[in-house]
Amino acid sequence: MGRLSGKTAVITGAASGIGRASAILFAKEGANLVIADKAEAVNDTAKLVTDAGGKAVALVGDAGEEAFVESLVARAVKDFGGLDVCWANAGVSGGWTAFDEQDAAFWAEILRINLIGAFLAVKHASRVMIPAGKGSIICTASVAGIRSGAGGSPYSASKAGVINLAQTAANEFYGTGVRVNAICPGLIETGMTQPIFDGARARGNEDKIGQLNPLTRGGVPIEIANAALFLASDEASYVNGHAIVVDGGLSSSHPVVRRKR
């Protein structure tokens, strides 16, 4: 018996990186999947799952559009009979555009996908979970949502909003049995952060990747997927309204010059 046997999960942003790693892991642990992404490569993720003997339905669309998010939940109910886990993982970074070059439209688009998209997932997943009296909703935030230094201003603001969304939604669902939590990844090698890793390797200073955290390395998608698996499973039945940080210790300290022991 896997840790998610008999459960159905929706995962957005599943075409690559953290989303793909989690889809493969969740399926391995017994979950039926409805996975989504704007990129067609989400179909490749579904094939990886089905080739390994799992069950996955892939849908291409925008996780910041309400009709699409609603369709993901409906598909889970139609194909698998319900919804136990919803992971709002889709997001964009917005890059490092200079502050005075940003405009309202730039902010609005990042907030639409990262924060409103998470809200929509919480809204529509909860409509199925509350009548069932149980369910786990997970939202991908970031250490950038905790304090400055890990992303651009609109990205950081959107992820701070996701953390607060998890807290407020958990309390909105008081007494329902539905849990809402967030995950705050640190520097993880994904498509979003690939330029950072590629640039360091091109300069010959790959050893400096992650030098600001006590583990002195960057993370990999499966390390975030493992945290999400815990939150999705019954093992986290008393974890609610929290932001779980998975960052090698990066956010545990103020800036300081370190020396190896």
Which are the catalytic amino acids? 155
List Cβ neighbours of 73 (8 Å cut-off, separation of 6 or more): 10, 83, 86, 124, 125, 127, 128
Q: Where do runs of H (alpha helix) occur along 29-183?
A: 42-51, 66-80, 104-111, 117-132, 153-172
Neighbours of 237 (CB within 10 A): 11
Work out the burial of residue 2: count CB atoms within 10 Å of its CB; fewer than 13 is exposed, 13-18 middle, 19 or more buried: middle
Token match 């786990």: residue? Answer: 136
128 close to 84: Cβ distance less than 8 angstroms: no
Terminus-to-terminus CA distance in the chain, angstroms? 44
Whole-number Å distance between alpha carbons of 169 and 189: 29
Give, for 33, the enclosing helix (H) or strand (E). Answer: strand 32-37
Q: Where do runs of H (alpha helix) occur along the chain?
A: 17-28, 42-51, 66-80, 104-111, 117-132, 153-172, 194-203, 221-232
List Cβ neighbours of 128 (8 Å cut-off, separation of 6 or more): 73, 76, 77, 82, 83, 135
